[in-house]
Amino acid sequence: MIGIRTKLILLMGILVVVIGILCCAFFLNHTKRQQEEALKKFGTSLVMLLAQDNEVAYALRSAQEAFLDAAINRLRDLDREEEIGYLRISDNQKVMVEEKTPKINVNMEEIPTRKTLHKQDAATSHSRWARGGILSESPDFSPLTELYCDKIKTRSGEVFCDFFAPVFEKKTFSEEEFAAQILGEYGVNAEEARSVLGFVQMGLSHHKLNERTRKIIWQSIVPMGLGIVFGGMCMMFFLTTYLVSPLRYMANITLDIARGDLTRTVDIRSRDEIGRLSVNFNEMTRSLKTSHDEKEKIMAQLRDHIKDLYNTNKELKETQERLVRSEKLAAVGKLASGVGHELRNPLGAVKNALFLLKKNVSAAHVQSESQKVNTLMEIIEKETDRGIKIVNDLLGFSRTAKPTVSPANVRTIIESSLSRIKIPGKIKKFVHTEEPLPPILVDVTQIEQVFMNLIQNACDAMPMGGSLTIRAQKEGSSVLSTTFTDTGCGIPDNVKHMIFDPLFTTKSNGLGLGLAVSHSIIQRHEGRIELESQEGKGTTFTVKLPIATT
């Protein structure tokens, strides 16, 4: 992309150069014309002096060439720069004197004489001076009676201003001629009636003129042209800088604004279009900033609203989940209570009956088949115990008794829980507790049940063995955190969110009530139970309970 500055510099550079050339050409032409005019005036003066010289008239009248010497010498004295190239004085019959300057190569035969001039085409335009030295152009004059000037060029390349003037027998005072013209017809043609004694012809060489012109070219025109170009260039740089700098400055500021910095303003205080542009630009930036601020304000409000909405939604969802869980728990509890209550008594009766049967059979009657009967009876007892346990669990789940809290040491609860669970030998257990641990206000029985559930689940997750790490530590000043970490199979991500739901289990012989009961108990203690699990690596349950305040 070509910038404005480059374009301006190119355009104005061309313009300045063209103006410089035109000025030089004009000045050169003018100078040449002035020089030519000066040469013509000088030649006219000289030739008129010679033509009006009384001695010349006398010499022509008496046909004495010798009388011309003094007049010619006077003329030569006036020609200080030796511009006279040739001189010819003739009477009406013959050429009396013909001279040429030795320095100038000119063949006098090439110079037109009076006769050849007289024969020239009448349509040819010549410069002619009327009386008084005023130049006029006329195609139809008689060269015999009036001064005229013509430019001639010889075969050798020399250029001359050729002056030709008649020498009159008598010269009339010009004002008297005018008076004769005004006062009557008799004087009008007086001039024409004058007799011509002869002619003087003189050529001024152009070599001095050319020298002067060359001098002027080198001393005036070339410096002037360079001055114009240099001055023009300076002005051009100044102008382009003056015009483009504010634009460039504004472009940079525009870029900053585009990047978001709306505090930038243009500081141009001129009263021209650029100044007005900067004022408008600043106005626009201010408006933009105001709009942007308003937008930011609205956006912040919107973000707050979204955040509130999100939190509300989250709370609503949690509430809904809790509600669903509560409803589910309530339904399950009701079912469990009913089923448990209905099954508990039959199962108790079965167990009692089995106890009596076992006592009688073992005494004497079925000695021979006692081994087989004992085996069947043990199966019945075992399954009955299991049914009782299930019923107890259901009843335990259905009971929503408010915990009876008392200060307790968590390490004691952990050790109690571990002692009540039979942990396989291939599972290594580690217990780490911070000392001293603050007491917690809990229902020890219920918390033991929770810990037992978590320990049992950890053991179930490691059928091939592993390690169980139980860690108890303070979290802040109000929470005691107890973690149960196993290196078991872990819990898949897609079931993590259902793990605390009642009747959900991943175990083949589980009822799905352990974690649901544990979650319910911890909630009742105003604590939290959290799950972190990575499938294939293990699971960590964290129980957070409030520390007892003294």
Partner 1 sequence: MKRKFLPLERYHGLALVCWFVLMFLFQTSSFIPRLVAAENTAIIFRSQQIAAYNEAIQGFEEGCKGKHISIKTVYDLHGDTEEGKRIIRTVKENKSKPDVILAVGVLAATLAKEHFPDIPIIFCMVINHDRFNLQGTNITGISSEASIEDQFSVLKEILGPHKNIGVIYDPEKTRKIVAQANTVAKQFDFNLVKSEVLLEKEVESALKNITHKIDALWLIPDSTVITKNTLNSIPRITIGSRLPIFSTSDAMVKAGALVSVSPNYKETGIQAAQLAQMLLTNPATTSLGIQQPNRLKLTLNIQTAKTIGINLSSIQSYPDVVLYPQ
Confirm if 448 and 413 have CB atoms less than 8 A apart: yes
| Binding of partner 1 by 170 (CB under 8 A) | yes
| Beta carbon nearer to partner 1, 109 or 185 | 185
| Beta carbon nearer to partner 1, 174 or 241 | 174
| Beta carbon nearer to partner 1, 145 or 534 | 145
Specify the stretch interacting with partner 1 by CB under 8 A; choose among 18-26, 151-159, 172-180, 368-376.
172-180
Question: What are the residue ranges of helices labelled H in 437-511?
Answer: 444-461
| Beta carbon nearer to partner 1, 170 or 428 | 170
The CA distance from 410 to 412, in Å, is 5
| Binding of partner 1 by 195 (CB under 8 A) | no
Count of residues for the chain? 550
| Beta carbon nearer to partner 1, 8 or 48 | 48
Among 177, 381, 460, 532, binds partner 1 (CB under 8 A): 177
C-alpha angle with apex 114: 110 to 115, nearest 5 degrees? 90
The CA distance from 466 to 484, in Å, is 13
Strands of 196-205's sheet, edge to edge? 95-100, 84-91, 196-205, 159-168, 148-153, 126-130, 134-138
| Binding of partner 1 by 300 (CB under 8 A) | no
Residue recorded with tokens 């032409």: 29
Paired residues of 542 in beta bridges = 483, 530
- Smallest separation, CB 52 to partner 1 (Å): 10
| Preceding omega of 436 cis (within 30 degrees of 0) | yes
Which of 45, 244, 13 is CA-nearest to residue 129? 45
Among 184, 260, 425, 476, binds partner 1 (CB under 8 A): 184
Specify the stretch interacting with partner 1 by CB under 8 A; choose among 62-70, 173-181, 267-275, 508-516.
173-181
The CA distance from 40 to 135, in Å, is 9
| Beta carbon nearer to partner 1, 54 or 368 | 54
Paired residues of 95 in beta bridges = 90
Q: How many amino acids of this chain bind partner 1 (CB under 8 A)? A: 25
| Beta carbon nearer to partner 1, 134 or 401 | 134
Residue recorded with tokens 């010679």: 50
Specify the stretch interacting with partner 1 by CB under 8 A; choose among 171-179, 207-215, 485-493, 501-509.
171-179
Among 11, 15, 70, 183, binds partner 1 (CB under 8 A): 183
Specify the stretch interacting with partner 1 by CB under 8 A; choose among 27-35, 75-83, 181-189, 363-371.
181-189
| Binding of partner 1 by 180 (CB under 8 A) | yes
Which of 131, 112, 125 is CA-nearest to residue 48? 131
| Beta carbon nearer to partner 1, 182 or 258 | 182
- Smallest separation, CB 182 to partner 1 (Å): 4
The CA distance from 30 to 169, in Å, is 39
Among 172, 220, 265, 337, binds partner 1 (CB under 8 A): 172
| Beta carbon nearer to partner 1, 67 or 168 | 168
Report the site for partner 1 in 49-108 (rule: CB under 8 A): 54
Specify the stretch interacting with partner 1 by CB under 8 A; choose among 117-125, 156-164, 182-190, 269-277.
182-190
- Smallest separation, CB 185 to partner 1 (Å): 6
Query: What residues contact 336, with CB distance under 8 A and at least 6 apart?
Result: 393, 394, 395, 397, 398, 513
Distance of CA 468 to the CA centre of its chain: 63
| Beta carbon nearer to partner 1, 32 or 171 | 171
| Beta carbon nearer to partner 1, 57 or 217 | 57
Report the site for partner 1 in 344-363 (rule: CB under 8 A): none
Which of 338, 6, 416, 33 is CA-nearest to residue 212? 33
Among 15, 153, 178, 219, binds partner 1 (CB under 8 A): 178
| φ, ψ for residue 107, nearest 5 deg | -95, 115
| Binding of partner 1 by 36 (CB under 8 A) | no
Residue recorded with tokens 């079925």: 366
List the structure tokens of 96.
Answer: 């009396």
Specify the stretch interacting with partner 1 by CB under 8 A; choose among 108-116, 159-167, 186-194, 310-318.
186-194
Confirm if 162 and 111 have CB atoms less than 8 A apart: yes
- Smallest separation, CB 173 to partner 1 (Å): 5
Helix, coil or strand: residue 170: coil
Confirm if 161 and 206 have CB atoms less than 8 A apart: yes
Confirm if 524 and 543 have CB atoms less than 8 A apart: no
- Smallest separation, CB 38 to partner 1 (Å): 18
Report the site for partner 1 in 118-147 (rule: CB under 8 A): 130, 134, 136
Question: What amino acid is encoded at 534 in this protein?
Answer: Q
The CA distance from 229 to 16, in Å, is 6
- Smallest separation, CB 158 to partner 1 (Å): 31
| Beta carbon nearer to partner 1, 92 or 181 | 181
Q: What is the contact surface with partner 1 in residues (CB under 8 A)?
A: 54, 130, 134, 136, 170-188, 190-191
